[in-house]
Amino acid sequence: MFLEKLANVEKRYLELEQRLGNPEVIADRNLFQKSSKELSDLREVVEKYRQYKNTLREIEDTEGMLEEEGMKELAEVEMDELKELKKKLEAELEILLLPKDPLDDKNIIIEIRAGTGGDEAALFAGELLRMYLRYAERKGWKTEMIDANPTGLGGYKEAVFNVIGKGAYSRLKYEGGTHRVQRVPKTEASGRIHTSAATVAVLPEVEEVDIKIDEKDLTFEAFRSGGAGGQNVNKVSSAVRIIHIPTGTAVECREERSQLQNRQKAMKLLRSRIYEVEEEKLRKTRESARRVMVGSGDRSEKIRTYNFPQSRVTDHRVGFTMHQLNNFLDGEIDEMIDALATADRTAKLSKME
């Protein structure tokens, strides 16, 4: 079954290569782009499969050498190495054959909100915001603020922003849930450790073709921004609030000086929120969620604890702990994401067996 699947993938790859040389396909821009993308998506699997087939041939050749005079010892060493490579390639191919999340290449919208803990929770929400912005910067992704409600102490009651870059969703989809922080607040004279929390939601950015919203189902309000913005603040009604009447979903955007720009960003957020509501309904009816091991991304799920006294961050879903908390909060979170992605793939593979 495993080899049959791989053979079918290679067959499809060869068909696509041939199709892309067809003048009629080249002339049809949409078909050419669609075929090129499919070819690109299959390339890694096919290259790995060809390496696997070559390894099988080398194992067969080496088996013949085991019977030759004076070659047995050398052949045994080579056979061990080839069998180890075969095992490694099989594991990699199993992962590559897993159905790809269709949202993985999407841009995302991240919403961070201060939870329990008052000013300390707002400060922690601000640190999470900086962590994700720094991570995006390290990845070469673009970020745009959609809405923010800062506090006077440098924290945030809430912050909503766009992350634009290939693979943003595939890397950050595991971040949704409740993040807890344990530390001694700067305002705490007795030095007692407090626990505060902030919630994170990760929404795939969806296009108009993915979610159809009827203008008749919307109400628009313009209001004056209360955030930073120089002379524009509190003088021009550039901030926008949009309410989707059927679902009661409300979004705001106040980061741009132009009402039109704020409206465009707000509509982007609205589409993503409505899409997530519909996806949540589907998740509840499906036997297995899209994110098998790491949960659904529900904000009520406590996923991670940031312990400052011990400079430790622990993800409770997979029991993975990292130290050097300051570096983690500076955006060095790839090791954690890799652990979550590996656990997710392992769980999916076990369900396929």
In a domain, 35, yes or no: yes
Contact 213, 331 (CB under 8 A): no
Residues 291-339 pLDDT 10s: 434 444 455 678 999 999 999 999 999 999 999 999 999 999 999 999 9
Tell me the mean pLDDT in the region 135-149. 94
Residue 286 has pLDDT above 60, yes or no: no
Single pTM value for the model: 0.69
Radius of gyration of the chain (CA): 26
188 or 327, which is more confident: 327
- B/e letters for 241-273, b = 16+ CB within 10 Å, e = fewer, are bbbbeeeeeebbbbbbbebeebbebbbbbbbbb
Domain check: are 91 and 139 in the same one?
no
Question: How far is it, in rounded angstroms, from Cα 244 to Cα 220?
Answer: 9
Is residue 190 located within the same domain as residue 128?
A: yes
Residue 126: inside a domain: yes
Could you tell me if 51 and 73 lie in one domain?
A: yes
Let me know if residue 102 belongs to a domain. Answer: no
Is the confidence at residue 228, as pLDDT, over 60? no
Mean pLDDT over residues 239-257, rounded? 85
Task: List C-alpha distances in Å: 303 to 36, 181, 310, 312, 315.
Answer: 39, 11, 18, 14, 6
Which has the higher per-residue pLDDT, 33 or 234? 33
pLDDT score at 162: 93
Query: What is the distance between the alpha carbons of residues 274 and 182, in angstroms, rounded to a whole number?
Result: 33
Residue 342 vs residues 1, 85, 267: alpha-carbon distances, Å = 23, 20, 34
Amino acid identity, position 341: A
Same domain assignment for residues 193 and 267: no
Q: What is the pLDDT of residue 266?
A: 86
Number of domains in the chain: 3
